[in-house]
Amino acid sequence: MTVLLVEDDHLLADTLVDTLELEGHRVQHLTDGTAARQALDTPRHGHALILLDLNLPGCSGLAVLEALRQHDRDTPVLILTARGAVEDRVRGLDLGADDYLAKPFALDELEARMRALLRRRERRQVLQVGPLQFDGLSQTFSLDAQPLALPPREQRLLACLMRHAGEPVDKAQLTEEAFQGAAMGDNAIEVYIHRLRKRLSDAGIALRTVRGIGYLLEAE
């Protein structure tokens, strides 16, 4: 998933980019409010979460947020503010920010807040891959508009694959995202993948093995 970081403090931004990339995120970093507003000026901007400083050159973070919320109410926004800027924090929350973090902050706290916002976003999502649909709010699947019942582990694995539909996902990432890093046998993922393939056979859904990389879910 891609995180958009809008921060003009280069030292802080370099630290955040390095930290988030180590956690497996793709990060786009912008330093200018005008550039951020242009990058977000479409519902299909492609970012899973936005880290937004408020004191930016070009145009303010509040202006970026206000423009975003005119067409996108769903993408989580975590605003980064100076510790004493209470009015800016209140204004940001009123404009539709999901959370805020006052500088300076601990990286562990930032990561925890990001995880919470991403979980909240996933619960609101409806994902579609061909005839396969996943409702994040009810945590249910349907195939050709008919309910598809799955055991819990297969359900979590398929939801993870759907969130990454069209791109290969390796075993380590599947284990971390679908099972929160729980210890699993070497062949456990292969067993669940095999079961999902059988359930999705002849349904217009391909669950492919990308040799040396991982597994890829896509519509045939």
Q: pLDDT of 35-91, one tens digit each?
A: 999 999 987 888 989 999 999 999 999 999 999 999 988 899 999 988 677 888 899
Q: How confident is the model at residue 181 (pLDDT cuts 50, 70, 90)?
A: low
Best-predicted range by mean pLDDT among 77-86, 181-190, 191-200?
Answer: 191-200
**pTM exceeds cut of 0.85:** no
Extended beta strands in 72-189, E state: 77-82, 99-103, 126-129, 132-135, 140-143, 146-148
Q: How confident is the model at residue 12 (pLDDT cuts 50, 70, 90)?
A: very high
Q: pLDDT of 149-168, one tens digit each?
A: 999 999 999 998 998 888 89
pLDDT for residue 121: 76
- In Å, how far are 124, 129, 143, 176 from 134, measured between CA atoms? 11, 9, 9, 20
pLDDT for residue 124: 66
Q: Which residues contact 122 (CB under 8 A, 6 or more apart)?
A: 136, 159, 163
pLDDT for residue 196: 94
Q: Which residues pair with 134 in a beta bridge?
A: 127, 141
**With 70 as the cut, is the pLDDT of residue 100 above it?**
yes
Q: Indicate the Cα dihedral angle 60, 114, 129, 185, nearest 10°.
A: 160
**With 90 as the cut, is the pLDDT of residue 185 above it?**
no
Q: Tokens in use for 177?
A: 């995202």
Q: Tokens in use for 154?
A: 């297969």
pLDDT for residue 155: 92
pLDDT for residue 154: 93
- In Å, how far are 68, 111, 145, 191 from 139, measured between CA atoms? 28, 24, 15, 22
**With 80 as the cut, is the pLDDT of residue 134 above it?**
yes
Residues 11 and 13: their CA atoms lie apart, in Å, by 5
Q: What percent of the chain has pLDDT above 90?
A: 58
pLDDT for residue 179: 80
Q: Average model confidence (pLDDT) for the chain? A: 89
**With 80 as the cut, is the pLDDT of residue 205 above it?**
yes
pLDDT for residue 198: 92
Are 165 and 131 contacting, i.e. CB atoms less than 8 angstroms apart?
Answer: no
Q: How confident is the model at residue 133 (pLDDT cuts 50, 70, 90)?
A: very high
Q: How confident is the model at residue 175 (pLDDT cuts 50, 70, 90)?
A: confident
Residues 3 and 142: their CA atoms lie apart, in Å, by 29
Extended beta strands in 32-189, E state: 49-53, 77-82, 99-103, 126-129, 132-135, 140-143, 146-148
pLDDT for residue 186: 62
